[in-house]
Amino acid sequence: MAPLPDWMRPPRAEGWFAEDLDRLPEAPRHTELIDGALVFMTSPQRSWHSRVVTALTNALTAQAPADIEVEREMTVRLDSRTRPEPDLLLVTVPFDPDRTWHDPANVLLVAEVVSPESAHRDRTVKLRKYAEAGIPHYWLIEDESGAAVAHVYELDAPTRSYVPVGIFRGAFTRSVPFAVTVDLDRLVPRTGAAR
């Protein structure tokens, strides 16, 4: 077995911290930090995932009020040892071209488009961590035989946990975090090919 490259070795005995991600130019794109462990997305991204993220970004951008920014693939510093990178975020701070992460206090919504390699983290670990950080809304977009299905959660502030508010197919309309309608059937082209 080949030795680990030097950049993969934690800079201190306690392991990795959130600020370390900004000093790892050798790390693969989309590297996350979860509880002090680096998480790499090593599998090739599926076209379905990419199309859903792009279409959802476009749909939310077209409907977002002027004081809400739509970001994609930007990390959120949940605590000193956790910086996940959601597929999409709605934030309340103006665009800053030099920003590398967001504070959860400025995040209204996190959306994850579930991939086979991220399914466990998206459905359990991130669901819990985003809620504990106080992010008000969480959407999980799942692949159901090629169709996009949205699992929508809202934060129960007293318990700092998410409450499911619905599973949506076809389209859905929400009044929070702003008035928005998402046509799930238009997020990805339908093909006749079996999955």
110 closest CA partner among 74, 161, 61, 62: 74
Q: Report the side by side order of strands in the sheet with 147-156.
A: 69-72, 88-91, 107-113, 137-144, 147-156, 161-168
The yes-or-no verdict on residue 42 having pLDDT over 70 is no
Domains of the chain: 8-39 (no CATH), 47-186 (3.90.1570.10)
Length of the chain counted residue by residue: 195
Quote the pTM value: 0.90
Q: pLDDT tens across 125-138, in order?
A: 999 999 999 999 99
Calculate what percentage of the chain has a pLDDT beyond 70.
Answer: 96
Task: Please give the average per-residue pLDDT across 150-168, as a whole number.
Answer: 98
Q: What is the DSSP string of 31-92?
A: -EEETTEEE---SPPPHHHHHHHHHHHHHHHHH--TT-EEEES-EE--BTTBB---SEEEES
Strand partners, 139: 111, 152
Q: Which two tokens stand for residue 33?
A: 């930090």
Mean pLDDT of the chain: 92
Q: What are phi and psi of 55, to 5 degrees?
A: -65, -40
Q: Report residue 63 CA to chain centroid gap.
A: 19
Q: Which two tokens stand for residue 27?
A: 């790390």
Q: pLDDT tens across 3-31, in order?
A: 877 778 787 778 899 999 998 888 888 89
The burial class, CB within 10 Å (0-12 / 13-18 / 19+), for 175 is exposed
